[in-house]
C-alpha cells in the first residue's frame, strides 16, 4: 500500500517532539497554531495512528509516536543534510571543479581567476590540469576534466565552445634585432631567416608553426637550434642571443621580457580563437560556471596589456 507522507507534517512532528509544545513548534515552523495542529492531524490520518496525547497544558508521545520518532528522526536529518549540501553546491559555497588549460592560458588567466574564486568561495576546490590542446580535448571527452580553456582548432560537434577572445603568435627577439626595425607586423617568412627557439612538439604553438612553414611557398630555410618545453625558458634563451622565438600573445604579459622585443605575426595561420570548451551532453556545474565567469573577467582585464592582433 502506497503511503503519501509529505515533508512538512514530518517536520512539524519532529519540532513538536523537540519543543514539547505545539505553540513553540508552530512558531519555529512559521505557521499559526491551528495550521500546525492540522499538519499533525494530517500525519496521524495518513498513518492511521495517534502520535500525541494532548491536554490543555502539555503534549506527550504515545507508544506509537515514540516508535515513529525513533524511526523517522535520522532519515529526516539525512534528507535535510542532503538538501543543504545541494543548496551549497547551487550557491557555489562548496564543491569541486576540474579545469584543463593551455599553458599560455594557465599562465595568464588562471592565477587571477582561481584567486578571485577562492576569495569568494573559500570551500570550493579547483583542480587545474595544464596540457597541450589535443590532450585537453581528449580529457574532456573522457570526463577527466569538466571544461577547458583551449583553442578551437577543428570542428567538434560533441564539444561546446564559448569564445574568450582571439589570440595570435608573436616573434620574440633580442633588443636591437633586425626584426624590430620599426615594423608593427611580421610574418612567418620573416622569422624563418633566423635560428629559432620553439616550443616542443605537441604544443599548439608548435603545431601552428609546423603547418605554416609547410604551407609557406618559397620559405627560406632555417636551422631549428632549440626545442624547449616552457615559454620562460624560450624567453631566457632569446635574451642570451641564441635565436628568435614564436610565443603566444596571451602569455607575454606574464613572462620576463626585459631586454626583448615582441611583434605580432599578421598571417592568418598565426591566429587562434581561445575559449571555454565542454561536452555538449554535460551541463557545467555551478562551481564550473562560477570559475568560467572569473575566466571571462580575467580575459577582459588582461586585454589592455596585450599587443593588438593584426587585422586580417
List, for residues 259-293, the tens digit of each pLDDT value: 999 999 999 989 999 999 999 998 888 889 999 99
- Closest listed residue to residue 247, CA positions, set 303, 302, 238: 238
Neighbour count for residue 46 (Cβ, 10 Å): 13
Question: What's the pLDDT tens digit per position in 235-244?
Answer: 999 999 999 9
- Closest listed residue to residue 204, CA positions, set 233, 242, 171, 167: 167
Domain 7-82 has CATH 1.10.260.40: no
The pLDDT assigned to 264 comes to 96
CATH topology of domain 92-164+273-307: D-Maltodextrin-Binding Protein; domain 2 (3.40.190)
pLDDT band at residue 218, thresholds of 50, 70 and 90? Answer: low
Question: What's the pLDDT tens digit per position in 30-70?
Answer: 999 999 999 999 999 999 999 999 877 789 999 999 999 99
Q: Rounded to the nearest 5 degrees, what angle is found at the Cα of 203, between the Cα atoms of 202 and 204? A: 115
Q: Which range among 201-210, 276-285, 293-302 shows the weakest confidence by mean pLDDT?
A: 201-210
Would you list the domain boundaries of the chain?
A: 7-82, 92-164+273-307, 167-271
- Beta partners for residue 260, in sequence order: 174
Question: What's the pLDDT tens digit per position in 137-196?
Answer: 999 999 999 999 999 888 889 999 999 999 999 999 999 999 988 788 999 989 988 999
C-alpha cell at 77: 536529518
**Residues 6+ away with beta carbon under 8 Å from 158:** 141, 279, 280, 281
CATH topology of domain 167-271: D-Maltodextrin-Binding Protein; domain 2 (3.40.190)
Q: Examine the pLDDT at 1 and tell me if it is beyond 60.
A: no
The pLDDT assigned to 179 comes to 94
| Dist. CA 142–CA 136, nearest whole Å | 10
The pLDDT assigned to 209 comes to 85
C-alpha cell at 199: 616550443
Rounded to an integer, the average pLDDT of 222-238 is 88
Asked if the domains 92-164+273-307 and 167-271 are classified in one and the same CATH topology, the answer is yes
Rounded to an integer, the average pLDDT of 100-123 is 93
Amino acid at each position: 500500500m502506497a503511503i503519501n507522507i509529505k515533508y512538512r507534517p514530518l517536520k512539524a512532528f519532529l519540532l513538536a517532539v523537540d519543543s514539547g509544545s505545539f505553540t513553540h513548534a508552530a512558531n519555529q515552523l512559521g505557521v499559526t497554531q491551528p495550521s500546525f495542529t492540522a499538519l499533525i492531524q494530517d500525519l496521524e490520518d495518513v498513518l492511521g495512528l495517534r502520535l500525541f496525547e494532548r491536554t490543555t497544558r502539555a503534549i506527550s508521545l504515545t507508544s506509537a509516536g515514540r516508535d515513529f520518532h525513533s524511526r523517522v528522526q535520522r532519515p529526516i536529518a539525512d534528507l535535510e543534510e542532503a538538501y543543504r549540501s545541494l543548496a551549497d553546491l547551487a550557491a557555489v559555497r562548496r564543491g569541486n571543479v576540474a579545469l584543463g588549460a593551455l599553458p599560455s592560458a594557465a599562465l595568464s588567466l588562471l592565477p587571477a581567476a582561481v584567486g578571485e574564486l577562492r576569495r569568494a568561495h573559500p570551500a570550493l576546490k579547483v583542480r587545474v590540469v595544464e596540457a597541450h590542446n589535443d590532450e585537453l580535448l581528449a580529457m574532456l571527452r573522457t570526463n577527466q576534466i569538466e571544461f577547458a580553456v583551449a583553442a578551437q582548432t577543428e570542428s567538434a560537434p560533441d564539444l561546446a565552445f564559448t569564445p574568450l577572445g582571439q589570440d595570435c603568435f608573436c616573434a620574440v627577439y633580442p633588443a636591437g634585432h633586425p626584426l624590430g626595425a620599426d615594423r608593427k607586423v611580421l610574418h612567418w617568412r620573416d622569422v624563418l631567416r633566423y635560428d629559432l627557439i620553439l616550443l616542443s612538439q605537441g604544443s599548439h604553438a608548435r603545431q601552428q608553426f609546423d603547418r605554416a612553414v609547410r604551407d609557406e611557398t618559397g620559405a627560406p630555410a632555417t636551422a631549428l637550434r632549440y626545442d624547449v618545453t616552457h615559454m620562460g625558458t624560450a624567453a631566457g634563451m632569446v635574451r642570451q642571443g641564441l635565436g628568435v622565438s614564436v610565443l603566444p600573445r596571451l602569455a607575454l604579459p606574464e613572462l620576463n621580457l626585459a631586454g626583448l622585443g615582441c611583434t605580432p605575426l599578421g598571417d592568418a595561420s598565426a591566429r587562434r580563437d581561445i575559449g571555454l570548451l565542454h561536452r555538449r551532453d554535460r551541463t557545467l556545474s555551478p562551481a564550473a560556471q562560477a570559475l568560467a565567469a572569473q575566466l571571462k573577467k580575467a580575459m577582459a582585464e588582461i586585454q589592455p596589456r596585450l599587443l593588438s592582433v593584426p587585422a586580417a
